[in-house]
Structure 1
């Protein structure tokens, strides 16, 4: 069976590359409009100022065709459609063909603007794959050779003695400035697109590595659950037998301790099950139908009843209740956040819940020493902890994974008055009770 997670990563990586291709296509469309304006200006100046006899109908026809192609390109690509290398290659070929036609009607290789071919070659080197770039190099070289053989030389005196006052040298200077300015602007934009894509791909690789770590933890937890199942069952039977032994039933303090041991044993089983759910899919088989207020109230009560904390403030600001799925993974995530806060601040911590803009917002704050700057910059990474124990730092890592799987976000900050706050925002659509579960219930 194919790894659906890896397939999803490949698809996302491919979408990043397509997004870069789309941005490059839009840059080509912008550059083409610049070319249209530049050609119109050049034709007007050459005809009126230098009094050159140019075939205006043919040159304007080429210019009109280029404008129609650019309008069609904009209509096709204005939405975020994927753009392949071949499509970019074809777009550049159209630009090369348009430039070649205009040069053919205006002096061919004797036209100083023939050096604009270099712009096409450099753009292809940045945008396209290697074979496409070398093809553009070959085509532009053939176009220059063909223009030198078949085009009519431009009636423009190449009197270099005049220096800057030579019309040909003026044309070369303008061509150089155009090439330089356009390359700086558009190559800079292309490089920013590439850097953005590299950053997104790096984030995807990091996320894939973290999710692979989660899978390994899930396998380890699964093995541990199977190994721990037998001794836990044995201890449960023994404790049950002790509770009914006549020698022990006369001692109320021993019976109370046995009850405590049984409750702690049940808690161990719940912790193992919660880790299994957190390391796997966010919507587990333990999901049940409930409401968001009932779920959070029950979670806060259960956590408070099993922890030693002096002051636990639970502030539920949700005014309008709604049906949701009671998910063990979300429950384990909040328990991890509360346990982390309890270790940092045994005397006081707070859980605040609210709903805003279609999202369930949960804030866990404490009065502890807060996070270090290093931890804040790497929040949610595995084994980032101030506890100094081997294997610590997984609580926030698992919480981050659950939040991300549900389409939410997890963030942390140090409070101005001291202490720290970890916030989780989950879209209500991810935990809302769907109709399928409603009818099944």
Structure 2
């Protein structure tokens, strides 16, 4: 189920919002215009001023047209975002081409559209834009236009230095694009995983609120059912001697009485028994976690290392039940024949340890364990390909106040061990989220 939730959230989160792009382009227009005016009017360097102003005006006109044609909240499809960023790349490349090419100190800014694309767009569009930028950077090395400089002087740059500038801009573009892509991917994956966590926790809360719904239903149905019972008694009294209706009337009355008994039990479950059901001793909580996993061909053994008479008694917490259940389910899936669940409580801490006799965690998995990456169990040969499910369990348990430790039972990696530790006061309070 957790993988279905992860797949549900992904694509829509990588749409570029038009308002963000428009604001960035206005910053670019202002920066380009200021630079051109300073170079031309302040330093009085010779440059094709009208052509430069025309390119800047074209960018401003395109930006204004987008602002008018679409609402600010509009999110661009990947193909449309690629077209807009490619236009920015062409405009910046043309402006640099007529003002010195790679010799222009602002030449590295050509990487900005590529970085934006890798941070927000699918890989195929971003790679295509990177290849386009690479072609433009190469073309800038062969521009016939000199760098605007003092009148009567020409700034000569050695070809070897130009090659170094080309290499530095290309490597900077590639590195910055890769970094932006990785950060964006991790942020998106984390956000989707947290959303899935909240949905699962909400579902668990709904399941534990069914007793309240039952009480409400019993209360609402009590009045009409009492009316039906009174009418049935009147009909039995009036038609009791009539052979045609006697059995039907008696059946109607008996069934109405049966319904009242059912509603009475539901009402008592939500009132007299509600507090009892919400109070959950540690041993009862562990039995509730273990019970669904006993019939899968793997022996699940519960080991109590402390006196049950001194165990903490807290309130039913869906986050703890789901988190421990998920960890136990993973242990059962990867165990060969046995899973051991050890419970220990002191005056300060409550510790639950889940161990299996499987292959254990691989070194690579131990380094990344708890990250919301999604893997396929069928392709894993060792324990630990747990992906989003383990991330959700770890997040829920940590939010309940627990700390988790993942390790192998032996240095050779035989058998996995997960240790969950709470401060005792967290298990004796209502820590429901």
TM-score, with structure 1 as normaliser: 0.43
Larger relative CO (CA 8 A, sep 6+): 1 or 2? 2
